[in-house]
Structure 1
Amino acid sequence: MISRDLSTAFHPETDGQTERVNQILEQYLCMYVSYHQDDWNTWLSLAEFAYNNAEHSSTKQSPFLTIYGRNPNFDSVHISQDTPSGRLSTNLQSVQKVVKEESESVIKRFRKYVDRNRAIPPDFQPGDKVLLASKNIKTTRPTKKFSERWLGPFEVLKKIGSHAYHLKLPQQCKSVHPVFHVSLLEPVKQSTIPN
């Protein structure tokens, strides 16, 4: 079953695999595009083919082998047109089983590594006051270097999913989408100084 997961802006950790593929394709295109960078689309299909034919560290095989049960053969003399479908099907199933096992192993190791340093995110309730990280918010200030790192406080209206919150933003921020990942929020600390 395929489940649809949504991510929030400026939070690439939710789709790291796609982000990594994009980085690799960008590196490949960087080597072959012209000086004016106006021909990148002519190289894209070759970049995709090279990526899909390269061995991946997590599965120990190429995506082409994983999907089709074989790697492409560039020597047309050795291409066999009479591969029995039964043998190909069996080969494909065994390849996919190995890939699934390798992927699960990599995911377990990755989770163990990531969870080791991950703090439990705060659980905000509607009505709570939070500060919003200003790093992804455009302001009219000339430079971010001397701008506030946190904006607010803003009121939490509701929780969206497991890690995002809908905030009540002022009217002058109407162009900003009001849903933010929990990593961009900090609880407002109450002052211990009386009045």
Structure 2
Amino acid sequence: MRFQYVVPNAERPEVLEKIHDDPFSGYLGIDKTFEKLTTRFSWPNYSKDATSYVTACEVCAAVKASKAYTHIKRLRTSAYHPQCDGETEPFNRTLEQMLACYVADNHKEWDKYLPKLAFAYNTAVHATLCIVYGRQPKLPINLLFPTPNLDFNLTADAYASKVHTHLLKCYNLVEKHSQSKVNKFKFYADKHVRPASYVTDERVWLLNERKKKGISKKLSRKWSGPYTIIVKLNENKYKLRPDKPGKKKLVHVNRLKKCNSPPPNVRYDSILEITKNSLEDQLSKESTRKGINQPRETMGSQTTTPIVSTAYQPETDKGNNDGTFWIDNDHLTLQSQEVFSSP
């Protein structure tokens, strides 16, 4: 059962002012103002009066932007895609407009209004306070027009039991509708989306979203890695291991892209094989051209391979008098790169 005050004509402007202009009301729109009004008060044509009052409000007209004027199209975010967050962004916009209604002349006091405006927003038409506490919240205007208690026989224990029963029904109803909404949003979000899919042991790049002080994001590398996928938790979440020593990461698929470069071990083996083949060809040509026959020899306890004739004279202490240069097998790849880069 809900009780409403029938407001006399002389007190209606004060009621509308408290419902709309007060910091605990927050200069909200027509729908939210009307919802607060209709749950507490009534008079002939009060819906029309409330609409006219909010429409004629000079503060709202000066602060709130028109969607038609700014050509803003309202979009809802898809699952796991915060670039267009349909829940967070409308609240931020509403809170900014509410603050602007009270601190337009003094921006240093905006934080003082946050508790009142948070209360105004939470007690609006989309309020969840009824589900949490089992009753309508008390507004400042309720102090001027207190709600009478007509059930004198209801004890505190009986009231608590009654509220508990109603809350259980509310929880079940909210859970049912919430799951229905989630399924609906997911259906439309996934309708035209074909997310990328990766497999275990596949190598990927990770989108670098970290911001460091003093570092320009525009001039920084957009992707870090490469990483190797070690666990695929589901179609959206993957666990990665970096190629270089570092921590494992749990990331969303939207931050990944395929890495086409070979793994480090494959890349090293390929380079080593190419280098050895090129080195053998170079040695064969040098030996044929110079007439040099240089078999494998032992220098002390290390086995070395002669790879260059007198045509190459590096500055080193390991050179022989005949101009032949000896290197260790372990440094074959490194030294061969120096050979081919020298004139």
TM over 0.5: yes
The superposition leaves residues 115-143 of structure 1 with CA deviations (integer Å, 9 ceiling, x where unpaired) of 213324423323x3212224x14588756
Gaps of 5+ in 2: 1-79, 263-273, 275-343
Gaps of 5+ in 1: 1-10, 57-61
Between Structure 1 and Structure 2, whose CA radius of gyration is higher?
2
Aligned ranges for residues 21-170 of structure 1 at < 5 Å? 23=92, 26-27=95-96, 30-31=99-100, 32=102, 34-36=106-108, 39-40=110-111, 42-56=112-126, 62-74=127-139, 75-76=142-143, 77-78=146-147, 80=149, 84-85=158-159, 86-126=161-201, 128-134=202-208, 136-138=209-211, 144=218, 149-152=222-225, 154-156=226-228, 158-159=230-231, 161-162=233-234, 163-168=237-242, 170=244
C-alpha change, 1:147 and 1:167, in structure 2 (3 Å) is same
Structure having the larger proportion of residues in helix: 2
Which structure would you say has the larger RCO, counting Cα contacts within 8 Å and 6 or more residues apart? 1
Name the TM-score, length of structure 1 as normaliser: 0.60
Give, as a single letter, the amino acid of the residue that structure 1 aligns with 2:206: L
C-alpha change, 1:143 and 1:99, in structure 2 (3 Å) is closer
C-alpha RMSD over aligned residues: 4.0
Matches of 1:181 and 1:22, distance apart in 2: 25
Q: Which runs of 4+ in 1 moved over 6 A?
A: none
Give, as a single letter, the amino acid of the residue that structure 2 aligns with 1:130: V
Q: How many residues align?
A: 166
Name the TM-score, length of structure 2 as normaliser: 0.38
1:102 is displaced (CA, Å) by 2.5
